[in-house]
């Protein structure tokens, strides 16, 4: 059996970037010939969103050639009322009743509940008699793995409370082959379980906040094999920092253009430009450079720009620097340039 696992799409509106990201993932699942598409929580951003989006969701999940299994997360735990229809090939696992319709595989959901770590431990240990070894056991879970250090930012826009906190030690002695998890947005992350199984966060398949940077991924694997991260083409934030050296011979605008030349077409750039330019050498002031920079980056999606650049013109006109240059007059040209550049960099850090 081949599985595609993702989580945390946080759908809000039909036809927007998140909606199109779901359609992209469904297309990837078809291209990769998966048998099962698993969403480990927070498909929707809220119950209201689910109510309005459900008709369109049925269309996306119909006639795909694979089954879809969803568990509720902390954002959409009220979105899956009894009897609601999401499509013929869609199963909502809203409790821990084992799903054994697939040969050789048992799937159990641990949907989000507002429970403590101790209560979660008791819930997991109660599954021991169910998790028999004649099948591969897959646990779907939405919450926080306490064995890994997380920032609050790693979970999107959440509060300071704990969400279904779990430790890998809770799984000791259980026949669990995979924990396919959601709630952790930032990146694809795998941890080994003591018995040889895998705990996997797929990360969000589209950047939900600006803190989720880099190309987004899903988890695609064949049951019995390790999880594998798979790059997908969805909108995402990318941090790009460019430090300009005023002693470089290259025009600083050319340097910036080169640094921005290999970006993914769906990336939204958080751009930081610092360092300094030699405006006198290239015939531009700071203001003129800033204006020309806007023209250079016109075709790039820049969502945030931190402009920390300065011109070294004031350094070149400094009496102390001029006196230093006079002392260098007797040095060979190459050495004179090297010492001059060192002095400029030193004065920039003052």
Residue spans per domain, the chain: 2-231, 236-317
In the structure encoding, which two tokens stand for residue 269, read together? 């750039």
Spatial CA neighbour of 59 closest among 29, 20, 87, 25: 87
Give the 3-state secondary structure of 242-300: EEECCCCCCCHHHHHHHHCCCCCCCEEEEEEEEEEECHHHHCCCHHHHHHHHHHHCCCC
Closest by CA to 44, choosing from 71, 62, 66, is: 71
> First-to-last CA distance in the chain?
62
Per-residue pLDDT of the chain (350 residues; tens, 9 = 90+): 999 999 999 999 999 999 999 999 999 999 999 999 999 999 999 888 888 999 999 999 999 999 999 999 999 999 998 889 999 999 999 999 999 999 999 999 999 999 988 999 999 999 999 999 999 999 999 999 998 865 545 555 555 567 889 999 999 999 999 999 999 999 999 999 988 899 999 999 999 999 899 999 999 999 999 999 999 999 999 999 999 988 888 999 999 999 999 999 999 999 999 988 999 889 998 899 999 998 888 889 999 999 988 888 888 888 888 888 888 888 888 888 888 888 888 887 76
Q: How far apart are CA 34 and CA 13, in angstroms?
A: 27
What phi and psi, each to the nearest 5 degrees, are found at residue 203?
75, 160
Tell me the CATH number of domain 2-231, given options 3.40.50.920, 3.30.300.30, 3.10.580.10, 3.60.21.10.
3.60.21.10
User: Tokens 């897959």 map to which residue?
Assistant: 138
Strands (E), 60-177: 67-71, 90-92, 105-110, 136-142
């Amino acid at each position: 059996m081949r599985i595609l696992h993702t989580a945390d799409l946080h759908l809000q509106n039909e036809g927007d970037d998140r909606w199109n990201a779901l359609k992209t993932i469904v297309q990837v699942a078809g291209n990769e010939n998966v048998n099962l598409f698993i969403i480990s929580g927070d498909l929707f951003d809220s119950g209201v969103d689910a109510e309005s989006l459900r008709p369109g969701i049925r269309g996306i999940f119909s006639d795909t050639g694979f089954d879809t299994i969803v568990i509720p997360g902390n954002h959409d735990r009220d979105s899956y009322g009894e009897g609601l229809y999401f499509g013929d090939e869609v199963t909502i696992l809203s409790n821990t009743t084992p799903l054994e319709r697939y040969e050789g595989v048992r799937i159990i959901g641990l949907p989000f509940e507002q429970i403590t770590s101790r209560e979660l431990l008791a819930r997991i240990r109660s599954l021991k008699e169910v998790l028999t070894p004649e099948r591969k056991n897959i646990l779907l879970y939405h919450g926080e793995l306490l064995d890994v250090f997380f920032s609050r930012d790693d979970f999107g826009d959440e509060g300071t409370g704990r969400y279904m906190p779990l430790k890998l030690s809770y799984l000791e002695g259980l026949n669990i082959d995979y924990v396919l998890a959601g709630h952790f947005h930032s990146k694809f992350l795998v941890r080994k379980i003591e018995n040889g199984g895998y705990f996997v966060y797929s990360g969000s398949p589209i950047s939900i906040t600006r803190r989720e940077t880099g190309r987004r991924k899903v988890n695609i694997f064949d049951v019995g094999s390790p999880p594998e991260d798979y790059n997908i083409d969805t909108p995402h934030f990318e941090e790009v920092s460019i430090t300009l050296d005023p002693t470089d011979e290259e025009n600083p605008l050319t340097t910036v253009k080169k640094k921005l030349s290999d970006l993914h077409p769906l990336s939204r750039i958080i751009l930081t430009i610092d360092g300094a330019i030699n405006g006198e050498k290239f015939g531009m002031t700071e203001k003129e450079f800033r204006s020309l920079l806007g023209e250079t980056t016109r075709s790039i999606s820049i969502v945030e720009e931190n402009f920390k650049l300065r011109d070294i013109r004031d350094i070149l006109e400094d009496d102390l620097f001029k006196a230093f240059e006079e002392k260098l007059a007797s040095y060979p040209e190459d050495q004179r340039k090297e010492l001059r550049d060192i002095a400029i960099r030193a004065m920039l850090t003052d």
